[in-house]
Chain A
């Protein structure tokens, strides 16, 4: 197990602005009479923040270039005649500063008077009201009166895109949006035009934005000048509860804070951002993370179980009847046809706990070895090669801090926006060297120190060239220089796309493993694609990539399971159509669409589907059970870099149940003692200090609860408690001995592949079954298709592209 460094708890997500300062000597200086120490060259504003001294600033933003435009951070420096801006003052030995005094307060107040000169003061209706930096500063320094009597210039609000709105009079010209769009996103869609009192933020399309619609400009805006199309005029910040969870769209697994509010049928999501800038993504969210949540409110959402009636029509029914029906039918199939008569296809969008439970349910209750999921990355081979080696799997933070990164295949800007952000940030702030080799032209080449283009079959040749075959890629110009430069890197993270699988992935990793200091990451396509693989949704691999036969504790937990390899998804569908399988349980997947199953082909099999929407598969099922989305449940997910993060229930929808609860209820309906499935209530009685969590001792009880949770000792009192399964996963799944304190505090906990895998030769002989789905910047398949905001952005972008093509 690799633990996250302790400091990350407190500095999570904050990029080290000045890497060079790390190797510079510490200096001592005085701020407000306190002696502080920081590396020479650290900006005063940062040094003060670390010491708990808050210096106000509008234009300063960690990680972006310095602007010194707002003059709010002025401080008095001894022996310097004028007030100095703390955001541009590097600390040096012996300096003496004063950060709060009557003089400084007056200077800041005067700045505020200027900023408020044209400000509409429409705080009562402004989206930012309540969490506005200008409001806070005005409150603090009290610029209640003004020397400026000129009429305020008013301009109408402008719609720049379906999701970005601009309210000119509220803007304080801090340039944060301009720098974020350019330096942070490498999109450069915002600029400043005119000057002085007429200066204005301008979008690149004249009156509209032609960009990636990431909404980062909205996020960094300290006031309400840039507002979000999905949130504006919908709520006030204090009306929402804020729940920090993980985005449900791509495999990067960004932390996202959902602002939720009570609604008629549960809790509705009104906003998504990364409010506390913690987690692996820090400041970052893309369009899908920020605007892609209204699928939970989609009119197409299933909220009642459906059972096919005698007339052959899916008819709404109660949960009790539906579960009982499923239990009876699965029981009857098992009774009649025995083990291996039911196939199970799992999801890459459900939690690790649900996936672990699903395979345990399949193997021990349905007694089947036919288990699979929609594979978008060959993690079996990946783990097979890493077996027994330490420090070879790259977490997202490893990539974000690596001195050199080799990006092979993939297209992070479109498919893994956080990876693209982290690579750009690493290159910009830490001078990392990025090597890009791709058969297509990709945007990240702009940040690359070296890039190489070749045909689609060039990936294997590149690996041969790296492995010493000088004849490989001989016809590609620059290949030699590229490989030589790579060879000189002492420490390298290799990130590869779905182009690498099976033998080609093995060849690449063998090359890397033959050198010291090389780590690997393998990209995949949906939020828990890695978790589904890690949790053993394979016909031939158990959780943690263990072989079916063996004597690990995991095998004991799955006692009674069939130990011969089962059918993969394709074979299962064929068998179900041909009478070889009598039942099929599909959880959060649409194999009929993915595998092009013809209508009615599976009418002789009993098909049960758990999903949020009536997918093609669900439309042909015998029973459809409406499930909670990832935003409506609790558990953990694993991103494609192996970082495990907590998912917390944010929204709530009447009528749906989590996949976890459904599986437990199904097992119950089949007459199974659910204690064998979910180890809850194992501590012989209740040990929680129940009742003390309210009242005068509440704080103590809370601290007690935190300690219990951190040590995995909190009582699991319900069979529907996913943390009961998390306990079991931690105990039995290789690589999942997690750092619980970090996990529960909202940070990621990295996994490290274990040992005792299926032999790599055996793995390479099987079909990898990987089908990359290549999601786009606004596309994540099922969910994005039912997200109004993402559909609107998609249409807008298509219209922009069509216009540009004219």
Chain B
């Protein structure tokens, strides 16, 4: 895709995607990382994002949806600014993952896949996030919080609220 073409993405991301599609023998091999980076920047995979990724690779938007809908970490609705992902897989479950999840639901007033009215938080119950040794664990955007107790939930939420207020 030429530099002057219409793009939804920042110049940095556009350049990164341009490099990605050329990296593999088959252009569509770059599809999943492209979707992930686009989601990180835009927040979710809107129709426009899907169309642009399809155009960059040279496949149909239907092809992109076929792949994207397979993966639960790719989303088609905006999430909150801080996406709280609570693991309830076996290790976390045994060490109280559901209690953590329940506490988040109670404190945020939203359920699985919910977004708070102010758009600050969204909540997800997720499968294993690879932190079994430190269960129970959660992931907020790309940050991990582990060996949690229910009591720590408020502090975690407060931390992100102040981070938001601080403009970061």
Contacts and interface: CB of A to CB of B under 8 A. Distances in A.
B69 A204 contact: no
Contacts of B62: 188-191, 202-204
A192 interface: yes
A194 interface: yes
A193 B60 contact: no
10 contacts: A188-B60, A188-B62, A188-B63, A189-B62, A190-B62, A191-B63, A191-B66, A193-B66, A193-B70, A204-B62
Interface string A187-211: 0111111110000001110000000
Interface of B: 60-63, 65-66, 69-70
A191 B61 CA distance: 10
Given A191-B66, A193-B69, A202-B66, 16 more contacts: A188-B60, A188-B62, A188-B63, A190-B62, A191-B62, A191-B63, A191-B65, A192-B66, A193-B70, A194-B69, A194-B70, A195-B69, A202-B62, A202-B65, A203-B62, A204-B62
A342 to B, nearest CB: 58
Contacts of A204: 60-62
A188 B63 CA distance: 9
Interface string A737-764: 0000000000000000000000000000
A257 B60 CA distance: 34
Q: What are the 3 closest A-B residue pairs judged by CB atoms, nearest first?
A: A191-B66, A193-B69, A204-B62
Contacts of B69: 193-195
Contacts of A195: 69-70
Contacts of B65: 191, 193, 202
Nearest to B47: A206
Nearest to A205: B62
Residue of B62, B65, B66, B69 with most partner-chain A CB within 10 A: B62
State which size class the interface on A falls in: 10 to 19
B69 to A, nearest CB: 4
A127 to B, nearest CB: 26
A202 B50 CA distance: 15
A202 B61 CA distance: 12
Contacts of A189: 62
Contacts of B70: 193-195
A202 B69 CA distance: 11
Nearest to B69: A193
A359 to B, nearest CB: 51
Residue of A189, A193, A202 with most partner-chain B CB within 10 A: A193
Contacts of B66: 191-193, 202
A164 to B, nearest CB: 15
Contacts of A193: 65-66, 69-70
A374 B19 CA distance: 58
B45 to A, nearest CB: 13
Contacts of A202: 62, 65-66
Contacts of B60: 188, 204
Contacts of B63: 188, 191
A188 B59 CA distance: 10
Interface in A165-222: 188-195, 202-204
A528 to B, nearest CB: 39
Contacts of A191: 62-63, 65-66
B159 to A, nearest CB: 34
A560 B62 CA distance: 67
Nearest to B64: A191
A204 to B, nearest CB: 4
A399 to B, nearest CB: 29
Nearest to A198: B69
Contacts of A194: 69-70
A212 to B, nearest CB: 15
Nearest to A178: B66
Nearest to A200: B69
Nearest to A204: B62
A192 to B, nearest CB: 6
B83 to A, nearest CB: 20
A189 B62 CA distance: 8
A531 to B, nearest CB: 41
Nearest to A194: B69
Interface in A23-37: none
B51 to A, nearest CB: 12
Nearest to A190: B62
A190 B65 CA distance: 11
Nearest to A203: B62
A194 B74 CA distance: 11
B1 to A, nearest CB: 21
A203 B61 CA distance: 11
Nearest to B72: A195
A217 to B, nearest CB: 14
A271 B66 CA distance: 32
A775 to B, nearest CB: 28
A195 B67 CA distance: 10
A188 B60 CA distance: 8
Contacts of A188: 60, 62-63
Contacts of A192: 66
A803 to B, nearest CB: 14
A88 B66 CA distance: 24
A774 to B, nearest CB: 28
A221 to B, nearest CB: 19
A188 B65 CA distance: 13
A495 B61 CA distance: 35
A194 B67 CA distance: 8
A780 B60 CA distance: 31
A194 B71 CA distance: 8
